[in-house]
Amino acid sequence: MPVIGLVVLAMLTVGATVYLAAQRLDQSAKDSSYRLARTALSQIEKQIAVQTREYAYWDATRENVVDRLDMDWVEASLGRYSFETFDYDATLVFDQNDRLLLFTTDERPRNAGAAELLSRSDATAVLDRLARPIAQVRAGPMENPGSASACIRIGETVYVAGIAPITPEHPTGDQLIPAPRPVLIYLRALDDPRMQRIGEAFEIHNFHVSQNDDVPVHHAQMTLRDPNGTVIGHMRWAVITPTQSFFETISMPFLGVGLLLLALAGWVMSGILRRQEELADRVGQLATINTQLLDSEAQARSALQRAEHATRTKNNFLASVSHELRTPLTAIIGFSQILKLRRRPGKTASREDEYAEIIHDSSQHLLNLVNDILDLAKIESGGYEMQEVWLDLNREAKSVQSLMGTEAMKRGVALNVVTLNNPPALLGDSRSIKQILTNLVSNALKFTAAGGQTDIRITLRGRSIVLEVEDTGTGIAEDDLEVIWEPFNRTRNPDLAKTEGSGLGLHLVKVLADLHGCEIELESEVGRGTRIAIVFPPERVRSVAA
């Protein structure tokens, strides 16, 4: 009997020890799941607050919503773009007197369990429930406005709201004086599809928002309150405890075996506990890293959209200015040409004739610059269309020789063309190739002194065809060999920098060559001349017979 008593006492002691260890392990799992759920909600609130501030602290928002309502801009920035990019449900803007200026919702088809569309009448409820955070952000400093986030309930749906005052990016003068400001509000519903995606991202099982007070078995919850402290719902999720299923399924026949393995189980449990603590630390680290990544992503998306908006504005401006300049420049060139032709042969040029020639040459130079800028803007925006056909490169070279012959004669430079006998056909855009040749020959003539020579050569290199322009001019310094391909960049030699030009010629050559998939070769020596070769790939070359 004493032995049996000791065995029973040992069994009870071991069982109690295992039970307490299991309870601690289960509680650790519950605490870890609660931290994950709290981190998930914190990330959602922080993300929507940061993104709302980015758009509210943007002059374009004030100009296109508060000053005047431009619905096309709204759809491209605060409306459809935000709904598709950031998964928002509604965008609201109230002016400084709390009058509704903008109300737009995501009208895409809804998944099962998704929140119903907000109606315009719900805007008043949103304003009432967010009165406190709206007042707080409006009271913030003008030079560094803040933002806020909060949970509210509209109907049967809980929403996360981002609130930020619409503030000038660089306030000056009277704008720095605190005053009531319009406010931008983003709403995202915590409906079943979104909660499921959040749960998958954070490995939280059965993550959802519930309105009732009954907590299911093996579930945990976190109460949600609006800015007024009113309970608006509960975030709930299933807690998977490591030992619960084990103790529910074990039966008496295995008790003897369990006693023999108690020592091993104790060792395993201690290892599990240590592992659980390590995992808890790792979860904290991952939550911090995830917060940083979300912040960086929000800032990058905002900067990308603003850059795209600036690019579209720049391209529209360049196209408009180029169109407005072309018409008067064409007229100036035409009239100055008439004045130039008025002088009879053999008659000494008067001062008016010299002025007419200066006006003609300057206007032609300005028109060429406008055309270069417009072509560059089209290429950067993707609006430059190439009409590719099979063409004769010999004929294109001779055409450029005829076009630039007068300029070469005027500068006293010999312009020669060396062509191929029975050349293969080249697949390319005739206008672009002629532009490449014209820019290269123009550069060669400008930097070649009288008595020099510029050659256009067409050669074959294996299955590739090579277009070369070589001159006997001043050459390019080694330090300038890389920067000359950049737009508006010219040689840093003070003697050569006086030569007319915009610095776009070689940049356009590189861009147009890239569009054809060409390689560019550059060889130059100061005082000896420069050779530039455009190598067209074999897939753009075929024999005439083919």
Owning domain of residue 91: 2-243
Per-position b or e across 490-516, b if 16+ CB within 10 A of its CB: bbebeebeeeebbbbbbbbbbbbbeeb
Residues 257 and 168 in one domain: no
Amino acid at 44: I
Asked whether the whole model's pTM tops 0.95, one would answer no
**Distance between CA 459 and CA 384 in Å, rounded?**
29
Residues 338 and 403 in one domain: no
Q: In terms of DSSP bridges, do strands 414-418 and 205-210 run parallel, antiparallel, or are they unpaired?
A: unpaired
Which residue stretches of 2-70 are H helix? 2-56, 59-61
pLDDT at position 303:
82
Residues 269 and 134 in one domain: no
What's the chain's Rg over C-alpha atoms?
A: 37
**Distance between CA 112 and CA 278 in Å, rounded?**
39
pLDDT at position 497:
45
CATH number assigned to the domain comprising residue 517: 3.30.565.10
Residues 8 and 155 in one domain: yes
Residues 184 and 260 in one domain: no
pLDDT at position 319:
63
Residues 187 and 273 in one domain: no
Residues 264 and 234 in one domain: no
Residues 18 and 113 in one domain: yes
Of 184, 218, 243, the domain-final residue: 243
How many domains are there within the chain? Answer: 3
Residues 71 and 13 in one domain: yes
CATH number assigned to the domain comprising residue 353: 1.10.287.130
Amino acid at 128: D
Of 331, 354, 383, the domain-final residue: 383
Contacts of 529 by beta carbon, 8 Å cutoff, 6+ apart: 448, 470, 471, 472, 473, 475
pLDDT at position 7:
75
Residues 355 and 395 in one domain: no
Q: Are 430 and 404 in contact (CB under 8 A)?
A: no
Residues 257 and 234 in one domain: no
Task: Output phi, psi for 68, to 5 deg.
Answer: -155, 145
- Which residue positions in the chain have pLDDT lower than 50? 251, 495-498
pLDDT at position 330:
77
Tens of pLDDT, residues 85-119: 999 999 999 999 999 999 999 988 888 888 888 99
Of 383, 418, 452, the domain-final residue: 383
Amino acid at 375: D
Residues 135 and 238 in one domain: yes
pLDDT at position 61:
93
pLDDT at position 219:
87
